[in-house]
Structure 1
């Protein structure tokens, strides 16, 4: 997925457009080679808000891209331009991976690419998407949906989550985490998390779990329980669960499992440790347990994941001897 094309037209939301440019146009020299080749495609100069953008190519360039991203569409009450719909549909037919950010889902739906599929968009527009496109299964309660070749995200920050998810798919967890650090954003929020939580998410250093998170990350090799976390946070298990839901949108155990899987991904990418060793280092206990959770979460077994992402970062060894993954 080396080439990324942004499909733009008048009325696009500038936040999602700029976000995609920042991720896929980033300078990742030394971290991922090759990085993406980013182009902006539109039929003419694009006006969005107070800004004006001159595309690199016309919309007819979309079918030649590996990934096509449709940023947020400002006026969801109006049908997207026919030229944009046709170009997006042609790109999909040519085998491109189609991605919508926020209300860009309305463009994919208008092109018929979401029929029979699960999708999401900004929570304020999920009802409208459902009513206008009844063939789409709209999920209003998730950050993003990955259907393989067609992906959709909720609004604003969730668009960043989906973009980092794409980087993780293409380049691995280590590169995605490095980019997240560069952009000063959370490295991973699972797509199944809720779009919004019952209370505003506080600043990173100003909530009851601020000291707990790094403490847990340093102890992923240990068999931590909810009671262990509650004891460290000096609160009851029930109180801890409420804070986790408020801050992360998920439960303590699900959050902990996500951190373990993330750590396993990095170890698979950056070390020659066996699956048994990585299972111990991530607190999974056994290779069988790691394989079960990893396969269910990531979609492939650990050894297949290693082969895929290690091959992208260095030539395969002809004699890996004792380091061969069981």
Structure 2
């Protein structure tokens, strides 16, 4: 599996799927300049229309908060876009992705327009990569150049998500290990976690912190008591019994990709265990404080980490294919 998670959800990125090799892929900025010069404009316009009509579209619940980022983490061969087939459940139908990972329709709309103008030229994987960048700019003013030339994979398996996505219960050390397996460093892990500045989470992803933390403390002592009291009004104790509301991952600017996520962590208002643990761990606490203090430096690092994530297990050259329809192999 592999490729760069438009809606990023769904992260983030959290959302690193396979091993890293920067030397192998032959990606370049402006790859489609001669074959389909309007490609990036078409994708950008599609993203802008979608997010303008529904600001929450750039976000999705759970660890796939920034759906574009999340899709981007999956996106290196666009396997996350494939439908399940008889005898094979695809990644997108894993409980970690469904229904939290969103934004597929934006990719499909852009692909349909591009197929009309430039048939079988642009890969779904590159559409995801462009859409992730455009979404980051639309909701956070973060801009970067996207090297392209990816090709689409032909395989999508449900268990890939379980094996590769870090769950919201991970602590900082577990997150570091998971990201390291994908070639991403400690600072990059903390920086990409800032995608949780936008989006929502199901109550079931953190309710144990409110009601059933451990035998000594029913409530997680690392969570701000006032914040916890407010969360309990939105997340009843029976949230798993067919009633699983969602709440913003960032109560300060829930529809803006910014560094308020880190400011929340300093106030012990991180929603998920995987969020708040970044402040409690000595290896990551300093990075959290620096990101909270320097918004432009964080934005620059976020852009660089997104570009690096876009090289995870990409297919290039004669590998894979250029799908006619992002939902199906040719």
TM more than 0.5: no
Question: Larger strand proportion, structure 1 or 2?
Answer: 1
TM-score under structure 2 length normalisation: 0.24
TM-score under structure 1 length normalisation: 0.25
- Relative contact order (C-alpha < 8 Å, sep 6+): which is higher? 2
Work out which of the two has the higher radius of gyration on C-alpha atoms and give 1 or 2. Answer: 1
